């Protein structure tokens, strides 16, 4: 995060393809192939990669092998072969302990803003989820692990409909008091529009510094990029995205892929921001990820970029 503090043109792109991108695919990618996917992303210059989730493999078989992935990457981190922030998702204390044993230095808890979404996603009530998330964040603090917190369905829940801004603010406050180092606002089913994004982030940045906040957009209704721009305008400089637009939560009906990393990066570079990412490498990774899941993937700008002879300022 240091570069965010010292370089006002830098935007931190956190790639969630190996986790969000793969967790809902019909094809189950082996841990070995997921490690190669992650290594390619690191080589392309991603500032952060969410590499796995420590969830029940019976619930999400696509994420089995998280400990193997984390321990393979631990060697890279220890040898200082990567400066990138390697994070993992944990839904409960069991997952936290497994992640910590596997050497995770950054974890994200995953509360949702509504009662039903928590029940469907992690089999806990909203109150149980918040208590559990807070206990994990407090434990992470003690263990020297950076604890981050998603707030999923922050705009709309597939079961309960629109989510009020005050609900998100109340949850953010509780997670912050428990020691969260970052709040990641998740538009899980890609239902938000840029005005809603502006409204929520304006309220959040009245309370928290923008550097404490991050945005995680799904692109179900093709508003991912517009929503990222709205957050950018509110001073947000950290975004989750997924190469090729992979993604979706298995427990949130209607959740399509995340905002494609290549589209986000192309927009940022054209606007004069820097990300440290090599867009050419990113596009070849989208092709590679497509071979892993046996289908063609790619963001909106992929075809243009492949054919363009000018490729300005990328
Ligand atoms: P549960 O059935 O209530 O758990 O599931 P339990 O505590 O009753 O235990 C049942 C069994 O699961 C036991 O094993 C436990 O040991 C085991 P058994 O005795 O039957 O052999 N268990 C675990 N195993 C591995 N890892 C664990 C774990 N915990 C218990 N962490 C649980 C609760 C949370 C485990 C389950 O519901 C689960 O794994 N859910 C997965 C949820 C998930 O991965 N959702 C997608 C990620 S969230 C998302 O995509 C949104 C996001 O992208 C943001 C956005 O888009 O907005 C982040
Ligand atoms: Mg997501």
Per-residue model confidence as pLDDT tens digits over 131-141 = 999 999 999 99
Going by pLDDT thresholds of 50, 70 and 90, the confidence category of residue 304 is confident
CA–CA separation, 213 vs 154, rounded Å?
13
Distance (angstroms) between ligand 2 centre and the Cα of 186 equals: 6
Q: Is the CB of 249 under 6 A from ligand 1?
A: yes
Question: The tokens of 129 are what?
Answer: 């989820």
- Which of 56, 66, 108, 251 to probe ligand 1 with, by most ligand atoms within 8 A of CB? 56
Q: Average pLDDT in the 68-80 region?
A: 90
**Does 23 contact ligand 1 (Cβ within 6 A)?**
yes
Average pLDDT on 4-14 reads 92
CA–CA distance, 300 with 275 (Å, rounded to integer): 19
Band (pLDDT 50/70/90 cuts) for residue 5 is confident
pLDDT tens for 188-228 read 999 999 999 999 999 999 999 999 999 999 999 999 999 99
Interacting residues of 69 by C-beta distance below 8 A, sequence separation 6+: 18, 31, 34, 35, 38, 51, 52
pTM above the 0.85 mark?
yes
Question: Atom 34 in ligand 1: which residue has the minimum CA distance?
Answer: 122
Mean residue pLDDT of the chain comes to 95
CB 49 within 8 A of CB 81: no
Q: Which phi and psi angles does 132 have, rounded to 5°?
A: -65, -45
Q: Is the pLDDT of residue 1 over 90?
A: no
pLDDT in tens, 238-295: 999 999 999 989 999 988 899 999 999 999 999 999 999 999 999 999 999 999 999 9
Cα–Cα distance measured from residue 31 to residue 147, given in angstroms and rounded to the nearest whole number:
24
Q: Which residue has the tokens 């995680």?
A: 216
> Could you say which of 134, 157, 234, 249 is catalytic?
249
| 121 Cα: distance to centroid of ligand 1 (angstroms) | 8
In this predicted structure, the answer to whether residue 311 has a pLDDT above a threshold of 70 is no
With cut-offs at 50, 70 and 90, classify the pLDDT of residue 309: low
| The pLDDT of residue 310 is above 80 | no
Coil, strand or helix at 217: strand
Instruction: Among the bound ligands, name the one nearest to the CA of residue 242.
Output: 2
Please indicate whether residue 249 is annotated as part of the active site. Answer: yes
**What does the pLDDT read at residue 312?**
52
């Amino acid at each position: 995060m240091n570069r965010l503090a010292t370089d006002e043109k830098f935007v931190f792109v956190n790639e969630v393809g190996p986790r969000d991108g793969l967790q809902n695919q019909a094809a189950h990618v082996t841990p070995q192939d997921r490690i190669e996917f992650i290594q390619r992303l690191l080589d392309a210059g991603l500032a952060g990669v969410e590499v796995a989730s420590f969830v029940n493999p019976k619930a999400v078989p696509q994420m089995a092998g998280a400990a193997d992935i984390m321990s393979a990457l631990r060697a890279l981190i220890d040898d200082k072969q990567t400066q990138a922030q390697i994070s993992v998702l944990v839904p409960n204390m069991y997952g936290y302990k497994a992640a910590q044993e596997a050497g995770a230095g950054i974890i994200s808890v995953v509360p949702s803003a509504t009662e039903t979404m928590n029940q469907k996603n992690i089999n806990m009530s909203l109150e149980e989820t918040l208590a559990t998330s807070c206990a994990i964040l407090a434990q992470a603090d003690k263990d020297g692990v950076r604890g981050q917190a998603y707030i999923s369905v922050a705009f709309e829940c597939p079961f309960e409909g629109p989510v009020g801004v005050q609900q998100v603010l109340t949850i953010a406050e509780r997670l912050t008091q428990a020691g969260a180092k970052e709040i990641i606002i998740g538009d899980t089913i890609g239902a938000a529009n840029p005005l809603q994004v502006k409204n929520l982030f304006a309220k959040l940045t009245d309370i928290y510094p923008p550097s404490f906040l991050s945005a995680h957009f799904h692109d179900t209704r093709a508003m991912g990029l517009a929503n990222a721009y709205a957050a950018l305008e509110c001073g947000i400089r950290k975004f989750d995205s997924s190469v090729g637009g992979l993604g979706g939560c298995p427990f949130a009906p209607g959740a399509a892929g995340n905002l494609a990393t290549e589209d986000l990066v192309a927009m940022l570079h054209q606007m004069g921001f820097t990300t440290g990412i090599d867009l050419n490498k990113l596009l070849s990774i989208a092709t590679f990820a497509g071979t892993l899941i046996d289908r063609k993937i790619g963001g909106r700008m992929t075809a243009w970029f492949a054919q363009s002879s000018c490729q300005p300022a990328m």
